[in-house]
Amino acid sequence: NWTPAQIIEDQINRVREQVGDRHVLLGLSGGVDSSVVAALLHKAIGDQLTCVFVDNGLLRKDEGDQVMETFASHMGVRVIRVDAEDQFLGKLQGVADPEEKRKIIGNTFIDVFDAEAAKIEGVDFLAQGTIYPDVIESAAAKTGKAHVIKSHHNVGGLPETMKLQLVEPLRELFKDEVRKLGVELGLPYDMVYRHPFPGPGLGVRILGEVKKEYADILREADAIFIEELHNADWYHKTSQAFAVFLPVKSVGVVGDGRRYEWVIALRAVETIDFMTARWAHLPYELLEKVSNRIINELSGVSRVTYDVSSKPPATIEWE
């Protein structure tokens, strides 16, 4: 039974032994796993680590700034931020199919990341936030045991194209252990215990074609929902909660006029393993507050709905 501090020390030694005085590249997403790898490697090898953070334009409100603040400003990690919103949204133009969108977002990520990596000289290793369940899952996928319902793009893909040796210090750890390491390494609690966020981001929370206008509205609605969940002490009672943009217009009455505006759906679930999930029985007062705020504060939204579907058959994401 190892303590987080012992695991960190052990991994620091292993990384130093593997890497020596050479250089490591890490794709930092802001998620728990890559964040913990960044903090760990920074502690182990300092400036021999370079992180690339790709802003795909499909992140949550202020997410890019928060990642830069935590890692670059506070910790002194070398992070290159790539603003690739135009590239992602351009590639997604006219595409409505969810799996097609996932593929485009995944492939564009690899293109952008590769292009950025090519500019950095003398990189010998690629670090990844692979954790034990990912190892199991991809082993199952290779033997055909996994029933792949949605293509999750955040594991694999890069090593083949980049021909770098891998550094994967979390390979033997479960999520709760990774979180404890994160806290021990001094990462902010809110970052370490944040709900999971899919690789394709808001790209699969905007139903159908993705547009910047939709993403901007959705980011604000989602931020209001999350803020009120925190205020009501419900955030950590749910496993995942978010807003979804429905590209349909519904009637609203404002003053003397009728307006046709967009619809936002709220989704909050409780689950242990994300394979099955129950919709969270949020208090009506909380839903009322979130709904009022979204409709009053965001122009362009006339209606808010709450998703009361369980998984199965409804998946957690709407796409």
19 is in an annotated binding site: no
134 is in an annotated binding site: no
- Residue 194 binding ligand XMP, by CB under 6 A: no
In this complex, which beta carbon is closest to ligand XMP, that of residue 125 or of residue 245? 245
Contact window for ligand XMP (CB under 6 A) among 15-23, 151-159, 172-180, 183-191: 151-159
In this complex, which beta carbon is closest to ligand XMP, that of residue 30 or of residue 198? 198
Which of 78, 91, 103, 152 binds ligand XMP (CB under 6 A)? It is 152
Which of 65, 260, 274, 299 binds ligand XMP (CB under 6 A)? It is 274
216 is in an annotated binding site: no
Q: Min. distance of Cβ 260 from ligand XMP in angstroms?
A: 29
Contact in structure between 72 and 79 (CB atoms under 8 Å): yes
32 is in an annotated binding site: yes
Contacts to ligand XMP from residues 23-82, by CB under 6 A: none
In this complex, which beta carbon is closest to ligand XMP, that of residue 2 or of residue 274? 274
156 is in an annotated binding site: no
Which of 70, 154, 291, 302 binds ligand XMP (CB under 6 A)? It is 154
Contact in structure between 23 and 122 (CB atoms under 8 Å): yes
Angle 17-44-77 from CA coordinates, rounded to 5°: 140
- Residue 198 binding ligand XMP, by CB under 6 A: yes
186 is in an annotated binding site: no
Site string for ligand XMP, 207-246 (x = CB under 6 A): ---------------------------------x------
- Cβ neighbours of residue 180 under 8 Å, at least 6 residues apart? 4
Contact window for ligand XMP (CB under 6 A) among 39-47, 191-199, 251-259, 291-299: 191-199
Which residues carry a binding-site annotation for ATP?
29-35
**Site of interaction with ligand XMP (CB under 6 A):** 102, 150, 152-154, 196, 198-200, 240, 274, 311, 315-317
Which residues carry a binding-site annotation?
29-35
